[in-house]
Homo-oligomer: A and B are copies of this chain.
Amino acid sequence: MSDLKIYLAAQRQKVNTALEATLVKNDKSPRIVKAMHYSLMAGGKRLRPILCLAAAEAVGGDSENAIPAACALEMLHTYSLIHDDLPAMDDDKLRRGKPTCHVAFDEATAILAGDGLLTLAFEIMAKAASNSADNVRSWLKVIQLIAAGIGYQGMIEGQMRDIASENTKLTPTELEAMHTLKTGALIEASTCAGAILGGGMSEQIEQLKIYARHIGLAFQVTDDILNVEGDPELLGKAVGTDMERHKNTYPALSGLAASKTFSHELIDKALQAIKSFSNKAEPLRAIARYIIARNR
CB within 8 A of A140: which of B107, B130, B141, B164?
Answer: B130
Say whether A268 faces chain B, with CB atoms less than 8 Å apart.
no
Give me the interface of A with B, judged by CB distance under 8 Å. 30-33, 36, 79, 83, 86, 88-89, 106-109, 111-112, 114-116, 118-120, 122-123, 126-127, 129-130, 136-137, 140-141, 143-144, 147-148, 150-152, 156-157, 159-160, 163-164
Residues on B with beta carbons closer than 8 Å to the beta carbon of A141: 130
Known contacts: A31-B164, A160-B31. The answer to whether A130 contacts B111 by CB under 8 A is: no
- Chain B residue at minimal CB-CB distance from A120: B151
A selection of 10 A-B contacts at a CB cut-off of 8 Å is: A30-B160, A32-B156, A32-B157, A36-B152, A88-B107, A111-B111, A123-B151, A127-B144, A130-B144, A136-B140
> 11 more A-B contacts (CB under 8 A) besides A32-B160, A119-B152, A126-B140?
A31-B160, A32-B157, A79-B115, A89-B108, A112-B156, A120-B147, A123-B143, A123-B147, A123-B151, A129-B140, A136-B136
